[in-house]
Amino acid sequence: MNDPEKKSWHDNLPFPRHWLGYIALKVIVLALAIYIVLRWNGLL
């Protein structure tokens, strides 16, 4: 059987060369969303 060429997970990102920045941006957006929700609910 011929296996299809295996690609790394970060080759499927919109900009695969900057995958670390992409992950960092997602973490920052998630943290900001959590902060806003907690602030809005009066828990911070």
pLDDT band at 42 (very low <50, low <70, confident <90, very high): confident
pLDDT of amino acid 38: 93
Residue 34: inside a domain: yes
Give the pLDDT band (50/70/90) at residue 3: low
Asked if residue 31 is part of any domain, the answer here is yes
Asked if the structure places residue 7 within a domain, the reply is no
Residue 10 lies in a domain: no
The dihedral formed by the CA atoms of 11, 12, 17 and 21, expressed in degrees to the nearest 10:
-130
User: What's residue 8's pLDDT?
Assistant: 75
Q: Specify if 28 maps to a domain.
A: yes
Buried b (16+ CB within 10 A) or exposed e, 24-39: eeeeeeeeeeeeeeee
Q: State the pTM of this model.
A: 0.60
Q: Which amino acid type is present at position 11?
A: D
Q: What would the pLDDT profile of 4-25 be if each residue is shown by its tens digit?
A: 677 776 677 666 667 788 889 9
User: Would 19 be classed as within a structural domain?
Assistant: yes
Residue 23: inside a domain, yes or no? yes
Helices (H) and strands (E) in the chain, counts: 1, 0
Give domain status of residue 3, yes or no: no
CA 44, 40, 30 angle in degrees (round to 5)?
A: 85
